[in-house]
Amino acid sequence: MQSDIGLIGLAVMGQNLALNIADHGFAISVYNRTTAKTDEFVKENPKTPGKLTGCPTMKDFAASLKKPRKAVILVKAGGPTDAVINELAAVFEPGDIIIDGGNALWTDTIRRERELKAKGLRFIGSGVSGGEEGARFGPSLMPGGDAAAWAELKPIWEAVASKVDAVTGVELTGATPGKPIKGGVPCVAHIGPDGAGHYVKMVHNGIEYGDMQMICEAYDLMRGLLGMTPDEIGSTFEEWNKGDLNSFLIEITAKVLKQKDPETGVPLVDVILDTAGQKGTGKWTSANALDMGVAAPTIAEAVFARCLSAVKDERVAAAKALRGPKRAMTNPDKAKIIEQIRDALYCSKICSYSQGFQLMREAQNEYKWKLNFGEIAQIWRGGCIIRARFLQKITEAFGKKPRLANLLLDPYFKKTVKKAQKNWRKVIALAVKHGIPVPTCSRVSATSSAPTPTSARTSPAASSSTSTGRIPSARRSRPEVLDRKQEGRPPGRPSSLCA
């Protein structure tokens, strides 16, 4: 019996996605350049609902697939992906479909589709978000490419995607090996042609960077200003997760902060080195925002925070030489300030997502795409790293007004920011007074009524910005100008929360 689909690359993400596909009854062939790994994987999973077939060669892999053949690639982005595509192209026939599920630069996806089309092959660049767990039990999927090719892949991608409740938008959970979620709305949609899917996945990752940095800043404010312990802060995040801030990242932050180091008994967060790297998608998002002339300072500041975290020795030396003000407040109204920090975090989050959607809006003009922003918000409600309750509000906002210029102009978000911005401003003022950095909570788009730096208020250049937050004189260029040789440099992380 031939397989419904194939998958190349059996690292953890590839293995988990293959098992997810098999759990839904699809027969799947798998291939890895190390044959022993293929054999081991198939041997360890003998009773999947859909048959797993291991293939020793690429030729065997192609022969095992139903026509038109469909093969998912999950290998390292860049050169390795090109190498696998070339190998597949040599054994595939016109009309067959290659799906890249890695974190590819969207311009690479545009190029690859063009090159494969000339050979009669079809190509889909699909964002896959949700990490290892999402790949196993239901990721958020963002495919872009030929519409007819998508129609061939659609039944499988809709089956394996995360599911949310049709009314509330809440993610349906409880899947176990061999027993996937039944019913619900799948978190997948055809984003658009060529590189649209990978572009939207890139922006998703940029927003994720901003979300993580904001959470770090909220943590630092509670610990620095109020002297709260990690366990107390974890309990606060748990409480916040019951309301508007409900999200996967808030949920796991609460759990991490309550963990103790098994060797020392101290909070785990205190023994994790506060430096981090990145995969490049946050940098791509920030660089593309500059190319497009779109203000996305929250995402950019999150990337810069990681860069700063990488120079640990320099930071330690500077802290000794340049002493700041006293971080702790004297006799603070703890409950009141926690509420203010919550409001600051929510407003900053709204602005960050607003910037991401503005960037996608400009990209569709640049690349002649037609993006459905309500649908994009909808498929981010489950499976992906930035899944959050308020994405239902974004879905509703674009549902009511598909051509909405800015999320902050939607009645719900406008009312929310208007109500909370006083507390937001107070938090930024307290942070400055006590020497606590809050780059993402204080750096927002010119489209909002949020506080901006003094230089931005007084400089002639700032006064010329339009209501869309774009600089009229910005020279836009294609993002091929990115220096991709620098992608591997480890820029660091904003704080020890991003372990």
The dihedral over CA atoms of 221, 223, 227, 232, expressed in degrees to the nearest 10, equals 120
Question: Catalytic site residues?
Answer: 201, 208
Confidence (pLDDT) at 270:
94
Residue found under tokens 């949020």: 450
Query: Residue 271 carries which DSSP code?
Result: G
Per-residue pLDDT at 244: 94
- Residue 455, pLDDT score: 35
Give the integer Cα–Cα distance in Å for 469 and 488: 31
State the first-to-last Cα distance of the chain, in angstroms, to the nearest integer: 45
- Is residue 217 exposed (0-12), middle (13-18) or buried (19+ Cβ within 10 Å)? buried
**Distance between CA atoms of residues 397 and 44, nearest Å:** 46
Tell me the residue ranges of DSSP E strands in 93-151.
Answer: 97-100, 122-129, 140-145
Q: What SS3 state is found at 276?
A: coil
Name the amino acid, one letter, at 123: F
Q: Residue 22 and residue 480: Cα distance in Å, rounded?
A: 38
The continuous run of DSSP H or E covering 70 comes out as: strand 70-73
Local structure of 177: helix, strand or coil: coil
CA 463/CA 478 separation, integer angstroms:
27
Tell me how many degrees the CA angle 20-200-466 measures, rounded to the nearest 5.
160
CA distance 332 to 492: 33
The DSSP line for 188-226 is: B---BSTTHHHHHHHHHHHHHHHHHHHHHHHHHHHHHHH
Q: Are strands 140-145 and 122-129 parallel, antiparallel or unpaired?
A: antiparallel
Q: Which helix (H) or strand (E) holds 141?
A: strand 140-145
Whole-angstrom distance, CA of residue 60 vs CA of residue 54: 9
Q: CA–CA separation, 181 vs 53, rounded Å?
A: 24
pLDDT tens, the chain, 499 aa long: 899 999 999 999 999 999 999 999 999 999 999 999 999 999 999 999 999 999 999 999 999 999 999 999 999 999 999 999 999 999 999 999 999 999 999 999 999 999 999 999 999 999 999 999 999 999 999 999 999 999 999 999 999 999 999 998 999 999 999 999 999 999 999 999 999 999 999 999 999 999 999 999 999 999 999 999 999 999 999 999 999 999 999 999 999 999 999 999 999 999 998 887 777 888 999 999 999 999 999 999 999 999 999 899 998 898 889 888 999 999 999 999 999 999 999 999 999 999 999 999 999 999 999 999 999 999 999 999 999 999 999 999 999 999 999 999 999 999 999 999 999 999 999 999 999 999 999 976 534 444 444 333 333 333 333 333 333 333 333 333 333 333 333 333 333 333 2
Q: Distance between alpha carbon 133 and the CA centroid of its chain, in Å?
A: 15
- Are the beta carbons of 359 and 203 closer than 8 angstroms? yes
pLDDT at 274: 87
What Å distances lie between residue 468 and 294, 448, 475, CA to CA? Answer: 8, 9, 16
SS3 149: helix
Peptide bond into 68 cis (omega under 30): yes
For tokens 């860069």, name the residue: 307
Residue 221 sits at the vertex; the CA angle it makes with 217 and 223, to the nearest 5 degrees, is 115
Non-local (6+) Cβ contacts of 53 within 8 A are 3, 27, 28, 29, 30, 42, 64
For the CA atoms of 450, 452, 454, 459, what is the dihedral angle to 10 degrees?
A: -110
Q: Is the dihedral of CA 212, 218, 220, 223 positive or negative?
A: negative
C-alpha distances (whole Å) from 416 to each of 246, 346, 408, 469, 488 are: 16, 9, 9, 20, 40
Three-state DSSP class for residue 239: helix
Residue 48, number of CB atoms within 10 A of its CB: 21
**Per-residue b/e over 299-325, b at no fewer than 16 CB within 10 Å?**
bbbbbbbbbbbbeeeeeeeeeeeeeee
The closest alpha carbon to 351, from 243, 442, 457, belongs to 442
Mind listing the pLDDT tens digit for each residue in 414-436? 999 999 999 999 999 999 999 99
